Structure 1
Amino acid sequence: MKKICSIYKSPRKEGMYLYVLKAEALGRVPEGLLTAFGAPRHAFDMILTPEKKLAREDIGKVLQNLETQGYHLQMPPPEDEYIEHLPEELLRMNDPV
Protein backbone atom coordinates (compact mmCIF):
# COMPACT_ATOMS: atom_id res chain seq x y z
CA MET A 1 0.00 0.00 0.00
CA LYS A 2 1.53 3.29 -1.14
CA LYS A 3 0.17 6.61 0.17
CA ILE A 4 1.07 10.15 -0.84
CA CYS A 5 1.10 12.10 2.36
CA SER A 6 1.31 15.78 3.30
CA ILE A 7 2.95 16.66 6.59
CA TYR A 8 2.00 19.82 8.46
CA LYS A 9 3.89 21.43 11.33
CA SER A 10 2.14 22.94 14.34
CA PRO A 11 2.91 26.61 15.01
CA ARG A 12 2.00 26.06 18.68
CA LYS A 13 4.14 23.09 19.71
CA GLU A 14 7.67 22.33 18.49
CA GLY A 15 7.92 18.76 17.22
CA MET A 16 4.18 18.28 16.66
CA TYR A 17 3.24 17.19 13.12
CA LEU A 18 0.04 16.20 11.37
CA TYR A 19 0.17 13.58 8.59
CA VAL A 20 -2.73 13.56 6.10
CA LEU A 21 -3.40 11.99 2.72
CA LYS A 22 -2.43 14.58 0.13
CA ALA A 23 -5.59 13.98 -1.94
CA GLU A 24 -7.83 14.62 1.10
CA ALA A 25 -5.72 17.42 2.60
CA LEU A 26 -7.11 18.44 6.01
CA GLY A 27 -10.70 17.44 5.15
CA ARG A 28 -10.92 14.51 7.61
CA VAL A 29 -9.10 16.18 10.52
CA PRO A 30 -11.55 17.02 13.34
CA GLU A 31 -12.12 20.73 13.90
CA GLY A 32 -11.19 20.44 17.59
CA LEU A 33 -7.81 18.95 16.70
CA LEU A 34 -7.14 21.71 14.17
CA THR A 35 -8.00 24.32 16.80
CA ALA A 36 -5.59 22.77 19.31
CA PHE A 37 -2.92 22.20 16.63
CA GLY A 38 -2.99 25.79 15.37
CA ALA A 39 -2.99 26.93 11.73
CA PRO A 40 -1.20 24.02 10.01
CA ARG A 41 1.99 24.98 8.16
CA HIS A 42 2.79 22.70 5.24
CA ALA A 43 6.24 21.18 5.84
CA PHE A 44 6.58 18.69 2.96
CA ASP A 45 5.00 15.82 1.02
CA MET A 46 6.28 12.26 0.90
CA ILE A 47 5.36 8.80 -0.33
CA LEU A 48 4.72 6.34 2.49
CA THR A 49 5.05 2.57 2.04
CA PRO A 50 5.16 -0.20 4.65
CA GLU A 51 8.88 -0.61 3.95
CA LYS A 52 9.73 3.05 4.60
CA LYS A 53 11.45 3.94 7.86
CA LEU A 54 10.39 7.07 9.72
CA ALA A 55 12.67 8.71 12.26
CA ARG A 56 10.16 9.03 15.09
CA GLU A 57 7.02 7.14 14.12
CA ASP A 58 6.00 3.56 13.42
CA ILE A 59 5.15 3.43 9.70
CA GLY A 60 2.51 0.74 10.28
CA LYS A 61 0.67 2.90 12.79
CA VAL A 62 0.90 5.98 10.55
CA LEU A 63 -0.50 4.10 7.54
CA GLN A 64 -3.26 2.54 9.65
CA ASN A 65 -4.29 5.91 11.10
CA LEU A 66 -4.32 7.49 7.64
CA GLU A 67 -6.57 4.69 6.40
CA THR A 68 -8.98 4.55 9.34
CA GLN A 69 -9.23 8.15 10.55
CA GLY A 70 -7.70 10.18 7.72
CA TYR A 71 -4.80 11.64 9.73
CA HIS A 72 -1.95 10.79 12.08
CA LEU A 73 -0.78 13.13 14.84
CA GLN A 74 2.91 13.00 15.75
CA MET A 75 3.47 14.31 19.25
CA PRO A 76 6.72 16.00 20.30
CA PRO A 77 9.28 13.84 22.08
CA PRO A 78 9.32 13.88 25.88
CA GLU A 79 11.59 16.53 27.38
CA ASP A 80 14.18 13.97 28.52
CA GLU A 81 14.73 12.87 24.90
CA TYR A 82 15.92 16.39 24.08
CA ILE A 83 18.49 16.17 26.86
CA GLU A 84 19.75 12.79 25.60
CA HIS A 85 20.79 14.39 22.33
CA LEU A 86 22.60 17.43 23.71
CA PRO A 87 26.31 17.48 22.91
CA GLU A 88 28.51 16.51 25.85
CA GLU A 89 30.09 19.97 25.90
CA LEU A 90 26.73 21.51 26.81
CA LEU A 91 26.21 19.01 29.57
CA ARG A 92 29.70 19.68 30.95
CA MET A 93 28.90 23.40 31.13
CA ASN A 94 26.53 22.60 34.00
CA ASP A 95 29.18 20.70 36.00
CA PRO A 96 30.55 22.57 39.03
CA VAL A 97 34.09 23.87 38.52
Structure 2
Amino acid sequence: MHAYVYKSRRRADTYVYLDARDAFDRLPEPLRARLGPLQFVLDVALTPDRKLARENPDEVRANLAARGYHLQFPPALDADPMSEDWGTDA
Protein backbone atom coordinates (compact mmCIF):
# COMPACT_ATOMS: atom_id res chain seq x y z
CA MET A 1 0.00 0.00 0.00
CA HIS A 2 1.16 3.50 -0.81
CA ALA A 3 0.40 6.67 1.15
CA TYR A 4 0.79 10.34 0.33
CA VAL A 5 1.45 12.54 3.35
CA TYR A 6 0.46 16.20 3.70
CA LYS A 7 0.96 18.62 6.55
CA SER A 8 -1.65 21.10 7.66
CA ARG A 9 -0.45 24.66 7.25
CA ARG A 10 -2.99 25.79 9.84
CA ARG A 11 -2.51 23.14 12.56
CA ALA A 12 1.05 22.52 13.75
CA ASP A 13 2.30 18.91 13.73
CA THR A 14 -0.92 17.66 12.10
CA TYR A 15 -0.55 15.38 9.08
CA VAL A 16 -2.96 13.68 6.68
CA TYR A 17 -2.16 10.40 4.93
CA LEU A 18 -4.13 9.84 1.71
CA ASP A 19 -4.44 6.69 -0.38
CA ALA A 20 -4.08 8.68 -3.62
CA ARG A 21 -2.07 11.80 -4.43
CA ASP A 22 -4.06 15.02 -4.00
CA ALA A 23 -7.28 13.06 -3.24
CA PHE A 24 -8.57 15.76 -0.90
CA ASP A 25 -12.17 14.78 -1.71
CA ARG A 26 -11.66 11.81 0.64
CA LEU A 27 -11.64 14.23 3.59
CA PRO A 28 -15.00 15.35 5.01
CA GLU A 29 -15.60 19.05 4.30
CA PRO A 30 -15.61 20.11 7.99
CA LEU A 31 -12.23 18.43 8.46
CA ARG A 32 -10.80 20.09 5.35
CA ALA A 33 -11.95 23.46 6.63
CA ARG A 34 -10.28 22.95 10.03
CA LEU A 35 -7.00 21.74 8.54
CA GLY A 36 -6.76 24.58 6.05
CA PRO A 37 -4.28 24.36 3.18
CA LEU A 38 -2.34 21.09 2.97
CA GLN A 39 1.26 20.87 1.78
CA PHE A 40 2.65 17.67 0.27
CA VAL A 41 5.61 16.33 2.23
CA LEU A 42 6.15 12.64 1.44
CA ASP A 43 5.04 9.57 -0.43
CA VAL A 44 5.73 6.32 1.36
CA ALA A 45 5.26 2.61 0.76
CA LEU A 46 3.45 1.14 3.76
CA THR A 47 4.81 -2.39 3.64
CA PRO A 48 4.12 -4.75 6.58
CA ASP A 49 7.68 -4.28 7.89
CA ARG A 50 7.60 -0.47 7.55
CA LYS A 51 7.96 1.52 10.77
CA LEU A 52 6.67 5.07 11.16
CA ALA A 53 8.04 7.64 13.59
CA ARG A 54 4.81 8.44 15.46
CA GLU A 55 2.06 6.25 14.04
CA ASN A 56 1.18 2.58 14.08
CA PRO A 57 1.55 1.51 10.42
CA ASP A 58 -1.16 -1.17 10.80
CA GLU A 59 -3.61 1.50 11.95
CA VAL A 60 -2.62 3.82 9.09
CA ARG A 61 -3.13 1.02 6.52
CA ALA A 62 -6.50 0.10 8.06
CA ASN A 63 -7.73 3.71 7.96
CA LEU A 64 -6.53 4.18 4.38
CA ALA A 65 -8.33 1.01 3.29
CA ALA A 66 -11.55 1.86 5.15
CA ARG A 67 -11.93 5.58 4.43
CA GLY A 68 -9.05 6.69 2.18
CA TYR A 69 -7.30 8.86 4.78
CA HIS A 70 -5.60 8.80 8.17
CA LEU A 71 -5.00 11.76 10.51
CA GLN A 72 -1.85 12.17 12.57
CA PHE A 73 -2.28 14.61 15.43
CA PRO A 74 0.49 16.32 17.41
CA PRO A 75 1.99 14.21 20.19
CA ALA A 76 0.34 14.66 23.57
CA LEU A 77 2.42 16.10 26.37
CA ASP A 78 2.97 13.62 29.19
CA ALA A 79 2.71 16.38 31.78
CA ASP A 80 1.78 20.02 31.84
CA PRO A 81 5.11 21.89 31.73
CA MET A 82 3.57 24.75 33.70
CA SER A 83 2.69 22.52 36.66
CA GLU A 84 6.25 21.80 37.83
CA ASP A 85 8.06 23.84 40.48
CA TRP A 86 10.44 26.24 38.77
CA GLY A 87 12.13 27.21 42.02
CA THR A 88 10.60 30.66 42.34
CA ASP A 89 8.71 32.02 45.32
CA ALA A 90 6.44 34.32 43.41
Please, what TM-score do these two structures have when normalized by structure 1? 0.74
Tell me which stretches of 4 or more aligned residues in structure 1 moved more than 3 Å. none
RMSD: 1.9
Q: Answer 1 or 2: which has greater helix percent.
A: 1
Contact 1:22 1:45 in 2 (8 A): no
Contact 1:10 1:41 in 2 (8 A): yes
Contact 1:6 1:25 in 2 (8 A): no
CA distance in 2, matches of 1:23, 1:45: 8
Q: In the alignment, what sits opposite 2:71?
A: 73
How high is the sequence identity, in percent, across the aligned residues? 39
Please, what TM-score do these two structures have when normalized by structure 2? 0.80
CA distance in 1, matches of 2:22, 2:42: 15
What's the offset of the Cα at 1:23? 5.1
Aligned length: 83
Query: 5+ unaligned residues in a row in structure 2: which ranges?
Result: none
